[in-house]
């Protein structure tokens, strides 16, 4: 083992003699060495192996297995656009700096490609298996040639009426240069010739998307589908009349999405983002996918025209190109092929005929929200809806990172402005792939008189906060929602997130300081008493709390740290957790995807376990727990343990102090750490092994049941109180 005595980390007896009995035998580890850190990109790909496994697992309902296959397709698209695109930029810029795990950008690309190609083989095997199983259940995706005469006539008529007018065939010859190929579009490469002439003509047809035509076109009344591009390919005689179609194959390109310009000196951030979006459209290509029937000549021609390495950057696809579109099939409404229906419930203290939500928060205390187990609409959207209409509400402030067209968030903000309230919204324009939507939201809000700002130059605003100022009977009172997830009605039904509704006066004061920072961009002496915002406070606070846990640990009073987060990427926090393990502190990490730390290494991380939960919901919440010598601390918020979140973003982590809410967080952590259905445990080499037992219920199902019981118990108590009230009134009338 490589050690450097001048830069070693060990545990000193002097700090806590009781904790260090036998510590002189402990080896010393140089925590600067790359061998202790796993690669960010490779561990993210390992997460996608676990996602793929949900599609391979026969316990998963059939259409949900299709959904996981579609998720994998979308995830790999994003991986190439963001991660491979960024690495290729580094290679192009001559970056030689090694990552903390000791790899160059080029080495990371090569290793990622090897893993990706292995995953693709499994993906294509799974596609064949699932299409066969769908066919057994009379859900079939077929080729045009498999249709009978009447079915062909039906789809040919559909082509003539709905598709043909939208097509723009483009020739490729000296008079028609190679056309621009848009990102993630499905394209046909068509070779034609005259009947009595062997000279070939190359043509490209883009499959028109976003025009209301599904990728999988339904044929007849049964669940029989044909692919959009297959229908075009079998009607080329209409597109090229009088010509012989020699061949038709499909291809798809992926472009780099990392195109933002540095905004530190930008005079107009909105203009910078709009320019970046235009640049992204024409960004370099990082991947070419071709179907297996394409000739080597045409494959090489496309690679040359697109400026990519044919050997490395071209991927042959057996089966459906662009598997993310299988979401259309996964959404078929056949209940027995889906997970049991889960309808998000009202929070038990907001159910029934509960009064004004601000009265509930003031009288009941803080409320902890669990999505999607509890309804986003009847809690978060209700909070904003009532704030927009309540005549006693004077001001609403909010951060907006992502939202959806189906969400009522924007209309409620517009209503609030029209109702004469002061409304200020911090819109993050650089939320990846949501930039265009956020620009539109910002413009709509500004037109309605909302104060719109774009946060602090050079920092993404990733925090999830709504802040309401209300004139209560006893003066001004501030209310807030602080969450782990975006204000997005769609993801609130699929992502596992947490939020807190509170009127805590100290938290409210901290939020006043935070919004003043966001709307001015200045950070003078802003003292936060409870919140842990980044970039100035959070990382330092986490490191201090880890060191405090080390210092207070003893055999009589063992320390414990538990983090639940999407990623553990920051080297400093990882090294601190290694030190905690070496000191004997138990470290439990629920990490969804990227994790640099290697658990279970003797002497270094034998007190650490890393668990990943993959199931019907996407784990997205963040919980930070410190045993703190018996004075336990719980925090929730928007930040993952990544360098970018801790140093380059505005995040908000809030303490959860009411005992009844801490019990719920403890329950979540305990349920997920004990999961035997959806949990994967990381091995020292970075591999994951799925836990298996006869218990079929995973943590998501258990948490659904617990949410149902909370609501049921609250309703039963309410009925009991009503009976008591009726009995009391009867007794009063008798008197």
85-92 and 105-136 are packed helices; what angle lies between their axes, rounded to 10 degrees? 160
State whether residue 594 is helix, strand or coil: coil
Measure the CA angle with vertex 176, ends 175 and 180; round to 5°.
Answer: 155
How many residues would you count in the chain? Answer: 735
List CB contacts of 196: < 8 A, sequence separation 6 or more.
none
Three-state SS annotation for 541-590? HHHHHHHHHHHHCCCCCCCEEEEEECCECCHHHHHHHHHHHHCCCEEEEE
Measured CA to CA, the distance from residue 464 to residue 287 in angstroms comes to 34
Q: What are phi and psi of 396, to 5 degrees?
A: -130, 130
Contact present, 269 and 263 (Cβ < 8 Å): yes
Shortest CA distance to 348 belongs to which of 635, 24, 715? 715
Measured CA to CA, the distance from residue 422 to residue 333 in angstroms comes to 44
The token pair at 443 is: 């413009």
* DSSP string for 415-453: HHHHTT-EEEEEE-TTSTT-HHHHHHHHHHHHHTT-EEE
Contact present, 225 and 141 (Cβ < 8 Å): yes
Shortest CA distance to 491 belongs to which of 11, 71, 143? 71
Measured CA to CA, the distance from residue 386 to residue 473 in angstroms comes to 17
Measured CA to CA, the distance from residue 321 to residue 289 in angstroms comes to 7
Contact present, 714 and 660 (Cβ < 8 Å): no
Shortest CA distance to 280 belongs to which of 258, 263, 261? 258
The token pair at 217 is: 């076109």
Contact present, 608 and 591 (Cβ < 8 Å): no
Residue 42 burial by Cβ neighbours in a 10 Å radius (0-12, 13-18, 19+): middle
List CB contacts of 567: < 8 A, sequence separation 6 or more.
591, 592, 593, 594, 595, 640, 641, 642
The token pair at 227 is: 């692919």
Residue 140 burial by Cβ neighbours in a 10 Å radius (0-12, 13-18, 19+): middle
Shortest CA distance to 323 belongs to which of 491, 490, 123, 135? 123
Q: What are phi and psi of 505, to 5 degrees?
A: -70, -35
State whether residue 316 is helix, strand or coil: strand
Spot the catalytic one: 347, 371, 462, 553. Answer: 462
Q: Is 462 a catalytic residue?
A: yes
Residue 728 CB: number of other CB atoms within 10 A? 10
Contact present, 353 and 719 (Cβ < 8 Å): no
Residue 94 CB: number of other CB atoms within 10 A? 7
* Active centre residues (catalytic): 462
């Amino acid at each position: 083992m490589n050690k450097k005595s001048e830069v070693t980390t060990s545990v000193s007896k002097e700090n806590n003699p009781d904790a260090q009995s036998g510590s002189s035998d402990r080896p010393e580890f140089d925590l600067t060495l790359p061998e202790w850190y796993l690669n960010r990109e490779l561990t993210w790909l390992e997460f996608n192996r676990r996602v793929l496994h949900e599609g391979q697992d026969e316990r998963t309902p059939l259409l949900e297995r299709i959904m996981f296959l579609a998720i994998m397709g979308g995830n790999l698209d994003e991986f190439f656009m963001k991660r491979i695109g960024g690495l290729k930029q580094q290679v192009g810029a001559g970056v030689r700096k090694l990552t903390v795990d000791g790899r160059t950008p080029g080495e990371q690309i090569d290793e990622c490609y090897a893993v990706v190609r292995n995953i693709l083989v499994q993906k294509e095997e799974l596609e064949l298996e699932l299409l066969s199983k769908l066919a057994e259940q009379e859900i079939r995706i077929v080729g045009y040639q498999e249709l009978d005469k009447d079915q062909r006539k039906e789809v040919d008529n559909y082509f003539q009426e709905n598709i043909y007018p939208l097509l723009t065939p483009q020739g490729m010859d000296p008079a028609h240069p190679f056309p621009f190929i848009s990102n993630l579009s499905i394209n046909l490469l068509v070779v034609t010739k005259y009947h009595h002439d062997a000279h070939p003509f190359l043509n490209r047809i883009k499959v028109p998307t976003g025009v209301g035509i599904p990728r999988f076109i339904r044929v007849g009344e049964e669940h029989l589908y044909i692919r959009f591009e297959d229908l075009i390919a079998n009607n080329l005689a209409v597109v090229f009349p009088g010509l012989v179609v020699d061949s038709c194959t499909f291809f798809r390109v992926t472009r780099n999405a990392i195109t933002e310009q540095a905004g530190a000196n930008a005079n107009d951030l909105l203009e910078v983002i709009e320019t970046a979006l235009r640049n992204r459209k024409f960004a370099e290509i990082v991947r070419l996918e071709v179907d297996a029937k394409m000739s080597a000549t045409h494959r090489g021609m496309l690679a040359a025209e697109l400026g990519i390495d044919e050997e490395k950057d071209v991927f042959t696809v057996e089966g459906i190109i662009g598997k993310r579109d299988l979401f259309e099939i996964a959404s078929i409404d056949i209940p027995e092929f889906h997970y049991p229906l889960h309808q998000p419930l009202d929070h038990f203290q907001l159910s029934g005929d509960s009064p004004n939500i601000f009265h509930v928060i003031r009288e009941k205390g803080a409320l902890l929200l669990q999505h999607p187990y509890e309804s986003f609409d009847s809690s978060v959207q209700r909070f904003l809806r009532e704030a927009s209409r309540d005549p006693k509400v004077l001001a609403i402030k909010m951060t907006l990172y992502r939202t959806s067209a189906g969400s009522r968030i924007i209309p409620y903000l517009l209503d609030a402005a029209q109702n004469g309230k002061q409304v200020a919204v911090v819109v993050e324009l650089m939320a990846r792939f949501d930039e265009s939507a956020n620009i539109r939201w910002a413009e709509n809000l500004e037109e309605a008189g909302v104060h719109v700002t774009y946060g602090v130059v050079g920092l993404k605003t990733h925090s999830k906060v709504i802040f309401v100022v209300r004139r209560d009977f006893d003066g001004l009172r501030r209310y807030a929602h602080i969450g782990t997830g975006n204000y997005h009605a769609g993801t609130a039904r699929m992502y596992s997130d947490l939020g807190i509704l509170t009127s805590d006066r100290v938290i409210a004061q901290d939020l006043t300081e935070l919004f003043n920072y966001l709307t001015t961009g200045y950070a003078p002496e802003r003292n936060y008493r409870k919140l842990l915002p980044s970039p100035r406070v959070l990382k330092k606070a986490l490191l201090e709390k880890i060191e405090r846990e080390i210092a207070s640990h003893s055999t009589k009073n063992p320390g414990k740290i538990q983090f639940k987060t999407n990623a553990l990427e920051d080297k400093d926090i990882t090294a601190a957790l290694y030190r905690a393990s070496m000191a004997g502190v138990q470290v439990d990490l629920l990490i969804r995807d990227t994790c640099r730390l290697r658990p279970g290494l003797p002497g270094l991380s034998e007190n650490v376990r890393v668990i990943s939960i993959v199931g019907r919901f996407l784990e997205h919440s963040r919980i930070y727990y410190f045993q703190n010598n018996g004075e336990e601390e719980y925090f929730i918020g928007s930040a993952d343990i990544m360098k970018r979140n801790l140093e380059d973003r505005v995040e908000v982590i809030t303490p959860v102090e009411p005992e009844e809410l801490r019990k719920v967080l403890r329950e979540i952590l305990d349920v997920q750490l004990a999961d035997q259905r959806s949990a994967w445990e990381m091995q020292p080499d970075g591999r994951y092994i799925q836990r298996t037992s006869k218990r079929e219920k995973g943590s998501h199902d258990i948490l659904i049941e617990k949410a149902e019981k909370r609501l049921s118990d609250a309703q039963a108590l309410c009925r009991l109180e009503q009976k008591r009230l009726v009995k009391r009134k009867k007794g009063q009338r008798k008197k």
